[in-house]
């Protein structure tokens, strides 16, 4: 995406602030040292010029950022949150879990080209920036994170407004309203979806089909790699139990994770007994259990954003595994995490007539 | 910590099937166990005195008894603890009778299991914390919603100088459906006049406040302490409020309206009337056609609406037979034909009642594919039976016997009380067999046709059952002791996701909007533990079933 | 004079034999050590009870997947010690554990500690694709010579506390030119000596070579000054702090792997630390923009003030930081300046109370004036 597209987006935001449609914008910005990007809530519209709606990395998941602003209630400020589709989806999932108050927030998503692995960028920001710019120019995502490379939801519209860049004319973007709120924004700014979205839709569809194929192939391979308990344990053997993945995850919102609580800490005699039964007890035990447990708790809400893998100090393929499992668990309920705000969470919904195949297994 | 472990012989029951000395040997060396003894019968006076003495002698801090089922004597031993100044919740009972001695003749296996269970109890009790019973004031008054026979009966039986009944009826008069029945089956005794008498008794009772043309606006609170607001149907701004300790939902049923089913011709063909129309006509004293003349032939159609609603109302066949009696009395020479698909005549007197109704002028025809059409000034009934595909019968009058439907408009009651409505729209009992008149909300009862279609005799039984519940649980002057083993949500760890709120079926969890955390109402909580399991963070504990308590008990049991 | 065990065998082999003897003869019931845990050769901590499994133990391997002080705390905090266990840990891990014991987060009941003079560890990232393996032989060479290997953690390069202060047994490793052919272990305490007695092992009188250790310390101090000067430049005022912590994403990974951070619910994660809309809006009256989630710098400074007094500079924090902030060096630098004020070396002396909970009437008079 050309630099000018970013300017177009920022112009739109500044105009909206001028007209009082938004009082503030939540958008990524380069840090003072220039070696990373973080979310900033901007009230002074002049500062929007220094923002970057699609930086080369996703250091903080947008859903988490929105939640930190509005978990405890709606503010008086009308905020436009500018994020990627997976971040909007995470925000929707968080809303369903009472962690986001959406009232004064307008969720704006943009067609996402993917991001670089976080560590690759921070270890050498200059090189990272160059790599990212090249990738954008050539529409080449082979340097992006593994989960970004097989993402088929990079243009999914789940918020109030979507900025379409694919198939757009030079320096211009498609502004697509997806909700009443989004429509009002466009109306107030006297902008309309002039002309058809056909070229955007076509490009998006092509990309989606392509990615779905890639995803299916990649997952076939991955299944072989992690299938079976032995393979699963091996996959996570390097894990240091730091739980960074859980804390970076936008939909892991518990204040005290079950797997950090006293419940998983046993008495000395228990550890000794286990060590004696096995001959060797890896310490701390239950490394793989943490990952399976986390999956059990959040897989149905996983938006495949990849924040977990970025945060892992030993480069475990956490996001790749969790994203693949999420496809399966969400598929069970015909659910796609965060695709809209109305669909109730499968984990909180009781249906008497459901999952009979599970019952039959025990007959 | 000093744990005393006492193993009951239970006479020969345990002593002969479990090697108690082996159990003592296994338990004695455990950490924190101060003493292990056996005794012949711990639940006896001597036994209880023995335990009391032991608690004093060894200055025990915890007590474990291995004996019978907790259902038998948990309370007995807890009372002993309390008398000796030991918190009754620092006690654990291991069941080595029903779960060991009484299920096998293999003494070795029984002893092994008894050892496991006793050790598990010892492991568990170390993690027990003292719990205090709460006592809260309660209001003995009762709200009865619905002035039909169920509501009237419950009100009359409950009302007294120490208990006021608030009887709320949405129509202008008490009496419900049965006020229109001249007589009831199978005894054919007077009904409408009886009901009239009951209504007078209710009105004259100084302890029953009757509110007609009144609906429920809101029900807040919990068992023992409900806050009720009612409003007038005629002037909704006119409200009244009062407090009660229990609520009886006796909102009854209404007959199914067959108007939209064209094959019955109701409201289209003259002299096609419903059962309720007929009851009212009969009560007025004369049975006539629209033109004032008596009918010479009458068809009574059973099961109207059964297919559409998907259930049998149990009473329609019976009252259809009752109609034969009405007709036989008031228009003796009338030819009566009952058309039915299945005949439902349950009970000890009903079969006799049916047989006695048969006669020269009475036909019972089992049929299908019924169709009612007008034929000049008569009514033609077309039907199929086992032999013929298309038969016809011409009659003067058709009485349609419809099923009973649940009363509509109960949403504010259901929402406020959190009771459930079943698939068919009737209110759901707590348990079909062992708790047929209570609901999942403590203090809210259902009686009569609000629960499901039923006869007057069954309705009266339910009204009496509800009365029994309320008389024994809501005693004037006595405080209520709510459940002690309830949930507790850690305010520091709760992140306010409301998952627990969604799974609580007792409405015991509310949300504190200011702190953005969920809070358990310890009085409503029944200690089921659903919230504990549902909380992803583990921020909820169940008193007396904490993680540590359960974990250590299970761990020891499976060693 | 200290009692020592000297054997004519490589340190690695001699140590493994010693551990095996202890387990085989049931002198201890378990050995806690780094170990190869799978066929890929990944190294992690393990509690070993089967003496045969000890062949895969790697007692002083130059990796620290977690600070073992955390593990010893978890192992000893709950329940009762019924069987003796020997823990093989590095000096900073032991110091971390001692600091935790002072805070009631663990105990030494039936726990015998064995450590070694330490040559440092490789950053965890190097172990991901086993990059560290190609440096192993040069590493052991530099350990023998008492030199600083260029690829180890920066805080290891700057570490002057490479001698394990409270260990029951110390293995002579750093600066020991004979370590390939000779095992030398010092038995510092009665607890340690009891193990030797149980194995009927004869101990000799031997002291560690103070001169060599002092020379090594000088090298480390020089490296420390260099690295501190570097970090000091970066920590110049609020701008410096914003620059260096600017990319912090508030993941709190540093806190979770730190042996000293033991709070069940960190203050900076508690409801009290949350921002509500009114907070944001009042902050906006002063600023035109705000980093979100807020409070990352506040958290860093807060954590520094809470644990700085006990920071053992192990370097775990820096290794898990997803955005490569040099947290370890910053915390070592600031932590040491606090510790110097109280003349306190965390974990050096088990009986020394934590300065923050000790009231001395005569103290810091200069601040009063």
pLDDT in tens, B419-439: 999 989 999 999 999 999 999
Shared-domain flag, residues C298 and C159: no
How many Å lie between the alpha carbon of B326 and the closest alpha carbon of chain A? 46
Does A313 sit within 8 Å of C49, measured CB to CB? no
B276, B403 in Cβ contact below 8 A? no
Q: Is residue A210 part of a domain?
A: no
Q: Which of C177, C91, C193, C86 has its CA nearest to residue C140?
A: C177
Residue among C79, C271, C276 with most chain B CBs within 10 A, to mutate: C271
Provide the token pair at A94: 């968080």
Residue A304 is assigned to a structural domain of this protein = yes
For residues A243 and A343, membership in a common domain is answered with yes
pLDDT band, residue B507 (cuts 50/70/90): confident
> Is the CB of residue B519 less than 8 Å away from at least one CB of chain A?
no
Residue A105 lies in a domain: yes
Which domain, by its residues, includes A226? 217-356
Give chain B positions within 8 Å (CB) of C80: 31
Residue C318 and residue C257 in one domain: yes
A255 CB near a chain B CB, below 8 Å? yes
Answer whether A297 touches B (CB < 8 Å).
Answer: yes
| pLDDT tens digits in sequence order for chain C, 369 residues long | 889 999 999 999 999 999 999 999 999 999 999 999 998 899 999 999 999 999 999 999 999 999 999 999 999 999 999 999 999 999 999 999 999 999 999 999 999 999 999 999 999 999 999 999 999 999 999 999 999 999 999 999 999 999 999 999 999 999 999 999 999 999 999 999 999 999 999 999 999 999 999 999 999 999 999 999 999 999 989 999 999 999 999 999 999 999 999 999 999 999 988 988 888 888 888 888 999 999 999 999 999 999 999 999 999 999 999 999 999 999 999 999 999 999 999 999 999 999 988 888 888 888 876
ipTM of predicted assembly, 2 dp: 0.94
Domain boundary among the residues C200, C223, C246 is at C223
Averaged pLDDT, A207-226: 96
Residues A10 and A145 in one domain: yes
In a domain, A99, yes or no: yes
Neighbours of chain A (3+ CB pairs under 8 A): B, C
DSSP for B282-347 reads HHHT----TTSSPPSEEEEEEEETHHHHTS--SSHHHHHHHHHHHHHHHSTT-EEEEEESS----S
Domain count, chain C: 2
Which residue from B31, B493, B515 is facing C265, i.e. has the nearest CB? B493
In the three-class reduction of DSSP (H, G, I as helix; E, B as strand; rest coil), residue A221 is classed as helix
- In this model, does residue A194 exceed pLDDT 80? no
Separation of alpha carbons A267 and C81, rounded Å: 9
What's the CA gap between C142 and C315, in Å, rounded? 20
Q: Which residues of chain B neighbour C271 with C-beta distances below 8 Å?
A: 491-492, 515, 517
A226 shares a domain with A122: no
By Cβ distance, the residue of C38, C49, C269 closest to A255 is: C269
Q: Are residues A174 and A286 in the same domain?
A: no
B31 in C contact zone (CB under 8 Å): yes
- Claim to verify: residue C191 and residue C325 sit in the same structural domain: no
Asked if A98's CB is within 8 angstroms of B496's CB, the reply is yes
Q: Is the confidence at residue A90, as pLDDT, over 90?
A: yes
Chain A CB within 8 Å of residue B517 CB = no
User: Looking at the structure, do residues A127 and A234 belong to the same domain, yes or no?
Assistant: no
Clarify whether residues A274 and A170 are in a common domain.
no
Q: Are residues C187 and C154 in the same domain?
A: yes
Q: B494: nearest CA in chain C?
A: C271
Q: How far is B67 from chain A (nearest CA, A)?
A: 29
A190 belongs to a structural domain: yes
State whether residue B547 sits within 8 Å of chain A by CB.
yes
- Specify whether the CB–CB gap between C89 and C118 falls below 8 A: no
What whole-number distance in Å separates Cα of residue C277 and Cα of residue C286? 15
Q: How many CB pairs under 8 A join A and C?
A: 227
Residues 254-293 of C with CB under 8 A from B: 265, 270-271
In 3D space, the residue among C220, C221, C243, C219 whose CA is nearest the CA of residue C231 turns out to be C243
Say yes or no: A97 contacts chain B, CB-CB below 8 A. yes
**Are residues C184 and C200 part of one domain?**
yes
Examine the domain organization and report whether A236 and A183 are in the same domain.
Answer: no
Structure tokens at B344: 């439902």
Interface contacts B/C by beta carbons within 8 Å: 8
Q: Which residues of C touch A75 (CB under 8 A)?
A: 277-278, 280-281
Same domain for A137 and A7, yes or no, is yes
Q: Do B515 and C265 touch (CB under 8 A)?
A: no
B493: nearest CB among A255, A270, A298: A255
CA angle A249, A255, A260 (to 5 degrees): 80
Asked, for residue C174, whether it belongs to a domain, the answer is yes
Residue C165 in any domain: the answer is yes
| A52 and A144 both lie in a single domain | yes
Same domain for C33 and C50, yes or no, is: yes
Last residue of a domain, one of C185, C200, C223: C223
- How confident is the model at residue A286, as a pLDDT? 94
Instruction: Quote the domain boundaries for residue C82.
Output: 3-223
In a shared domain, residues A228 and A115: no
Residue B506 has pLDDT above 90, yes or no: no
* Contact call for B497 and A263, based on CB within 8 A: no
Question: Using CA atoms, how far apart are residues C319 and A313, in angstroms rounded to an integer?
Answer: 7
8 Å CB contact of A35 and C244: no
Give the contacts of B373 (CB within 8 A, at least 6 positions apart): B265, B269, B379, B380, B382
Query: Are residues A129 and A15 both part of a single domain?
Result: yes
Question: Are both C128 and C215 inside the same structural domain?
Answer: yes
Calpha distance B110→B102 (Å, rounded): 9
Which value, to the nearest 10 degrees, does the dihedral of the CA atoms of residues A339, A343, A346, A351 take? -150
Please tell me the distance in Å from C10's CA to the nearest CA on chain A: 25
pLDDT of residue A274: 96
Q: What is the pLDDT of residue A361?
A: 63
pLDDT value of residue C44: 96
B515 reaches C (C-beta below 8 A): yes
Whether C367 is in a domain gets the answer no
For chain B, give the number of residues: 559
- A325: its two tokens: 């499992």
Instruction: Assess if residue C366 is contained within a domain.
Output: no
Instruction: Report how many domains make up chain A.
Output: 2
Q: Per the domain annotation, does A284 fall within a domain?
A: yes
Residues C13 and C162 in one domain: yes
Q: Are residues A261 and A226 in the same domain?
A: yes
Interface test with A, best of B538, B542, B550, B558 (most A CBs within 10 A): B538
A206 domain-assigned: no
Ordered domains of chain B (ranges, CATH): 3-131 (3.40.50), 142-252+407-473 (3.50.50.60), 259-403 (3.50.50.60), 487-543 (3.30.70.20)
Cα nearest neighbour of A261 on chain B: B538
C-alpha distance from B551 to closest chain A C-alpha (Å)? 9
Residue A361 inside a domain? The answer is no
- In tens, the pLDDT along B56-115 reads 999 999 999 999 999 999 999 999 999 999 999 999 999 999 999 999 999 999 999 999
- Please answer yes or no on whether C42 and A241 come within 8 Å at the CB atom: no
């Amino acid at each position: 995406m050309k630099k000018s597209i970013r300017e177009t987006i920022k112009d739109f935001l500044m105009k909206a602030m001028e007209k009082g449609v938004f009082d503030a914008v939540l958008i990524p910005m380069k840090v003072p040292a220039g070696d990373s990007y973080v979310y900033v809530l901007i009230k002074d519209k002049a500062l929007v010029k220094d923002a970057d709606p699609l930086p080369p990395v996703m250091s903080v998941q947008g859903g988490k950022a929105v939640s930190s602003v509005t978990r405890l209630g709606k503010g008086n400020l009308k905020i436009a949150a500018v994020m990627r589709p997976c971040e909007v989806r995470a925000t929707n999932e968080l809303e369903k879990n009472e962690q986001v108050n959406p009232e004064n927030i307008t969720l704006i998503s943009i067609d996402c080209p993917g991001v670089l692995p976080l560590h690759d960028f921070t270890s050498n920001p200059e090189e990272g920036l160059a790599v990212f710019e090249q990738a954008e120019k050539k529409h080449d995502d082979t340097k992006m994170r593994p989960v970004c490379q097989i993402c088929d939801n990079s243009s999914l519209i789940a918020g109030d407004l979507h900025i379409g860049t694919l198939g757009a004319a030079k320096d211009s973007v498609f502004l697509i309203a997806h909700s009443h709120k989004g429509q009002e924004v466009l109306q107030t700014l006297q902008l309309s979806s002039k002309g058809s979205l056909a070229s955007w839709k076509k490009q998006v569809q092509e990309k989606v089909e392509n990615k779905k194929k890639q995803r299916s192939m990649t997952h076939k391979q991955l299944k072989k790699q992690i299938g079976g308990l032995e393979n699963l344990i091996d996959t996570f053997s390097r894990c240091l139990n730091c739980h960074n993945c859980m804390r970076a995850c936008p939909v892991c919102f518990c204040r005290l994770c079950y797997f950090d609580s006293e419940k998983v800490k046993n008495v000395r005699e228990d550890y000794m007994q286990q060590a004696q039964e096995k001959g060797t007890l890896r310490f701390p035990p239950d490394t793989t259990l943490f990952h399976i447990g986390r999956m059990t708790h959040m897989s149905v809400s996983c938006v495949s954003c990849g924040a977990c893998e970025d945060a892992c100090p030993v480069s475990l393929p956490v996001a790749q595994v969790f994203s693949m499992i999420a496809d399966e668990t969400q598929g069970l309920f015909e659910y796609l995490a965060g695709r809209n705000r109305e669909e109730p969470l499968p984990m909180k919904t009781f249906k008497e007539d459901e999952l009979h195949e599970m019952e039959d297994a025990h007959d | 910590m000093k744990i005393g472990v006492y193993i009951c012989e239970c006479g020969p029951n345990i002593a002969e099937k479990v090697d108690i000395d082996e159990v003592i040997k296994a338990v004695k060396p455990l950490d924190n166990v101060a003493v292990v003894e056996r005794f012949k019968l711990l639940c006896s006076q001597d036994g209880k005195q023995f335990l009391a003495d032991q608690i004093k002698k060894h200055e025990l801090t915890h007590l474990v008894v291995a004996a019978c089922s907790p259902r038998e004597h948990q309370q007995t031993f807890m009372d002993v603890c309390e008398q000796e100044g030991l918190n009754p919740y620092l006690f654990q009972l291991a069941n080595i009778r029903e779960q060991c001695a009484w299920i096998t003749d293999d003494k070795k296996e029984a002893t092994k299991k008894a050892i496991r269970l006793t050790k598990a109890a010892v492991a568990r009790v170390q993690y027990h914390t003292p719990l205090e019973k709460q006592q809260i004031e309660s209001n003995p008054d009762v709200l009865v919603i619905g002035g039909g026979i169920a509501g009237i009966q419950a009100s009359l039986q409950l009302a007294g100088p120490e208990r006021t009944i608030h009887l709320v009826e949405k129509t202008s008069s008490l009496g419900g459906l049965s006020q229109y029945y001249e007589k009831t089956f199978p005894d054919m005794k007077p009904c409408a006049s009886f009901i009239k008498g009951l209504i007078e008794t209710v009105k004259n009772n100084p302890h029953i406040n009757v509110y007609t043309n009144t609906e429920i606006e809101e029900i807040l609170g919990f068992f023992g302490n409900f806050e009720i607001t009612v409003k007038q149907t005629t002037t909704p701004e006119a409200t009244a409020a009062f407090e009660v300790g229990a609520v009886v939902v006796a909102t009854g049923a209404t007959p199914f309206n067959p108007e939209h089913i064209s094959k019955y011709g109701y409201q289209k063909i003259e002299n096609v009337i419903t059962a309720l129309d007929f009851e009212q006509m009969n009560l007025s004293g004369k049975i006539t056609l629209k033109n004032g003349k008596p009918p010479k032939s009458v068809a009574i159609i059973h099961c109207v609406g059964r297919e559409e609603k998907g259930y049998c109302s149990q009473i329609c066949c019976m009252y259809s037979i009752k109609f034969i009696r009405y007709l036989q009395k008031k228009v003796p020479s009338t030819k009566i034909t009952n058309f039915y698909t299945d005949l439902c005549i349950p009970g000890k007197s009903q079969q006799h009642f049916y047989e006695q109704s048969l006669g020269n002028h009475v036909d019972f025809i089992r049929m299908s594919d019924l169709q009612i059409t007008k034929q000049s000034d008569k009514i033609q009934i077309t039907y199929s039976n086992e032999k013929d595909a298309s038969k016809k019968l011409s009659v003067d009058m058709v009485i349609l016997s419809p099923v009973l439907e649940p009363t509509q408009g109960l949403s504010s009651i259901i929402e406020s009380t959190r009771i459930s409505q079943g698939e068919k729209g009737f209110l759901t009992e707590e348990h079909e067999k062992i708790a047929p008149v209570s609901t999942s909300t403590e203090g809210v009862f259902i009686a009569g046709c609000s629960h499901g279609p039923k006869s007057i005799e069954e309705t009266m039984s339910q009204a009496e059952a509800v009365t029994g519940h309320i008389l024994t649980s809501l005693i004037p002057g006595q405080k209520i002791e709510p459940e002690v083993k309830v949930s507790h949500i850690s305010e520091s760890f709760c992140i306010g996701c409301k998952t627990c709120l969604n799974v609580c079926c007792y409405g015991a969890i509310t949300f504190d909007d200011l702190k953005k955390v969920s809070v358990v109402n310890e009085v409503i909580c029944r200690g089921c533990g659903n919230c504990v399991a549902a909380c992803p963070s583990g921020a909820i504990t169940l008193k007396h079933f904490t993680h540590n308590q359960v974990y250590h008990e299970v761990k020891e049991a499976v060693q | 004079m200290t009692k020592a065990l000297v054997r004519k065998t490589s340190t690695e082999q001699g140590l493994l034999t010693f551990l095996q003897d202890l387990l085989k003869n049931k002198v201890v019931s378990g050995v806690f050590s780094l170990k190869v845990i799978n066929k890929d050769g990944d190294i992690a901590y393990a509690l070993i009870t089967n003496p045969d499994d000890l062949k895969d133990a790697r007692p002083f391997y130059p990796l620290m997947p977690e600070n073992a002080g955390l593990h010893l705390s978890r192992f000893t905090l709950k329940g009762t010690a019924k069987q003796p266990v020997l823990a093989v840990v590095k000096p900073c891990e032991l110091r971390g554990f001692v600091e935790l014991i002072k805070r009631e987060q663990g105990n030494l009941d039936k726990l015998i500690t064995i450590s070694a003079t330490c040559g440092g560890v490789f950053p965890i990232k190097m172990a991901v694709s086993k990059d560290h393996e190609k440096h192993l032989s040069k590493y052991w060479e530099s350990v023998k010579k008492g030199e600083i290997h260029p690829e180890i953690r920066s805080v290891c390069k700057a570490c002057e506390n490479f001698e394990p202060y409270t260990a029951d047994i110390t293995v002579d490793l750093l600066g020991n030119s004979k370590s390939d052919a000779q095992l030398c272990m010092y038995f510092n305490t009665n607890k340690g000596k009891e193990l030797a007695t149980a194995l009927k092992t004869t101990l000799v009188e031997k002291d560690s070579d103070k001169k060599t250790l002092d020379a090594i310390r000088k090298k480390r101090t020089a490296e420390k000054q260099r690295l501190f000067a570097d970090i000091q430049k970066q920590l110049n005022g609020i701008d410096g702090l914003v620059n260096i912590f600017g990319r912090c994403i508030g993941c709190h990974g540093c806190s979770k792997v730190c042996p000293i951070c033991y709070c069940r619910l960190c203050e900076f994660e508690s409801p009290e630390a949350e921002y509500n809309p009114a907070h944001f809006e009042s902050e906006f009256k002063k600023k035109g923009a705000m980093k979100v989630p807020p409070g990352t710098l506040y958290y860093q400074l807060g954590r520094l003030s809470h644990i700085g007094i006990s920071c053992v500079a192990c370097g775990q924090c820096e290794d898990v930081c997803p955005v490569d902030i040099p947290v370890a060096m910053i915390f070592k630098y600031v932590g040491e300046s606090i510790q110097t004020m109280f003349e306190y070396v965390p974990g050096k002396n088990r009986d020394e109370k934590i300065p923050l909970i000790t009231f001395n009437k005569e103290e810091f008079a200069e601040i009063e004036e």
